[in-house]
Structure 1
Amino acid sequence: MRTRVKVCCIASAEEAAMAVAAGADALGLVGAMPSGPGPIPDERIAAIATTVPPPVATFLLTSETRAEAISAHIRASGPTAVQIVSHIDPAEAARLAVLEPRVRRVQVIHVGGNDALDLIPAYAPHIHAFLLDSGRPNATVRELGGTGRVHDWAISAEFIRASPLPVFLAGGLTPDNAAEAIRRVRPYGLDLCSGIRTDGRLDPEKLRAFMRAVCSADAQAG
């Protein structure tokens, strides 16, 4: 199976075009966050999203936690998918499925221990995919992504084996560890931001190196 690639923290139409040309399957557009890199105004998210050709998906990263507020954020920015970066109440996830049935819904799980697997049955009925990340949602200043840290891939691999839905892997991915991530975790897709940036800007050479590493790992796995 081909590993999908989601390039996150897209900041401009130029970065979006670069990622699409490199072969990205999805782009991440970061809304307001309590911490972390890449947030841009909703107006810019909406403008970038209109430039992205199908079938490339546009993911809105939202820190909203109530279904109505997430729905409003979606409608203000026009993505094809929403990435919910907080561990929201599953009842809100169910409500969002009613409010936004046409938008793909991806729930982030911040992997801190084996208890991450306990969240699978709570969310799976209401979403389309999971994304495993390395945030600290209970920290004094909440970390909801973009940490550049690798979490415990053994837990991630176990999560993927238990999940009935596709699972993206995020957290500290780079061209140097992409192949190992695919080999050890076997995710549906990889998601990254800082690992392909230089001085905060999307780096075309790092991006191409990452895509080559993914293609090589897929060929060896196949």
Structure 2
Amino acid sequence: MTQIKICGLKNTAAIETAVQAGADYLGFVFAESPRKVRPEEVRRLTKDLPETIKKVGVFVSPLQAEVEEIAEIAGLDLIQIHGKNELTKLSRPIIRAFSIRDQASIYFYQYPHLLLDAPPAKLMGGNGQTFDWRLVDQRHLPKDKLWLAGGLTAENVGEAISYFQPQVVDVSSGVETAGEKDLAKIQNFCQAVKAADKQIYDL
């Protein structure tokens, strides 16, 4: 069963829609981005969140002290790290982002969760860009801890699940319209994941 992360959330309506649609993880960006939020705001927005829904903080090349302070204020459950960074242990489990450029490096494989994303563009993530899946060497890809991002939408997520069998699919810009979360797109994305699981895993 593929889990779902809706990332780049900033308001109550989008959070409630994601939860009701079946998201397992909610992502909040603390790096420079149009989706950046303050940790105090995340705590306020998620104060009534069900315990089964996990909060992920997204950082780019952060310092440990910065991460730990924000994680405590926001009440984060996991830490997603992009960019150059050698942090391997924090108070919360780490999701380490990597791309096809990094796949030969065994450095990334020591983390409990690995996020395969498109190579960085203007932003480290959330650019809405797909990448050539055929360039990924799946022979050594640890599927048991694989998260998948990079231009996913309701239209292509079923194919992505079939191709990679990830543990989690991660979407941000693919559920937006004009740079803002689109509630219908969030619902459609979650429905597409469930439909793909039903077809692939015969649930």
| Same fold flag (TM > 0.5) | yes
Gaps of 5+ in 2: none
- Please name the residue that 1:118 is paired with: 104
Of 176, 179, 185, the match for 1:197: 176
Q: CA offsets per residue over residues 45-64 of structure 1, 9 Å max, x none?
A: 22223232111110011124
Of 122, 125, 129, the match for 1:145: 125
Work out whether 1:214 is the aligned partner of 2:193. Answer: yes
Alignment-mate amino acid for residue 116 of structure 2 = L
Task: Provide the TM-score with structure 1 as the length reference.
Answer: 0.81
Work out whether 1:25 is the aligned partner of 2:10. Answer: no
Of 117, 128, 139, the match for 1:133: 117
RMSD, matched Cα? 2.1
Alignment-mate amino acid for residue 188 of structure 2 = A
- 1:84-123 correspondence runs (5 A): 84-89=81-86, 92-93=87-88, 97=89, 99-100=90-91, 103-111=92-100, 113=101, 116-119=102-105, 121-123=106-108
Of 72, 76, 81, the match for 1:75: 72
Partners of 2:28 and 2:36 within 8 A in 1: yes
C-alpha distance in 2 between matches for 1:164 and 1:124:
11
Work out whether 1:158 is the aligned partner of 2:138. Answer: yes
Alignment-mate amino acid for residue 201 of structure 1 = E
Structure with the bigger percentage of helix: 1
Deviation at 1:22, TM superposition (A): 0.5
Alignment-mate amino acid for residue 82 of structure 1 = I
Of 36, 39, 45, the match for 1:39: 36
- Please name the residue that 1:59 is paired with: 56
Q: Size of the alignment, in residue pairs?
A: 201
Give the 3 Å change call, closer, same or farther, for CA 64–70 of structure 1 in structure 2: farther
Deviation at 1:12, TM superposition (A): 1.4
Tell me the SS of whatever aligns to 1:168. strand
Gaps of 5+ in 1: none
The alignment-based identity, stated in percent, is: 26
Q: CA offsets per residue over residues 19-57 of structure 1, 9 Å max, x none?
A: 000100100011132xx4411122212222323211111
Partners of 1:124 and 1:164 within 8 A in 2: no
Partners of 2:96 and 2:114 within 8 A in 1: yes
Q: CA offsets per residue over residues 46-83 of structure 1, 9 Å max, x none?
A: 22232321111100111243323322232232211111
Q: CA offsets per residue over residues 153-172 of structure 1, 9 Å max, x none?
A: 1244617x432751111111
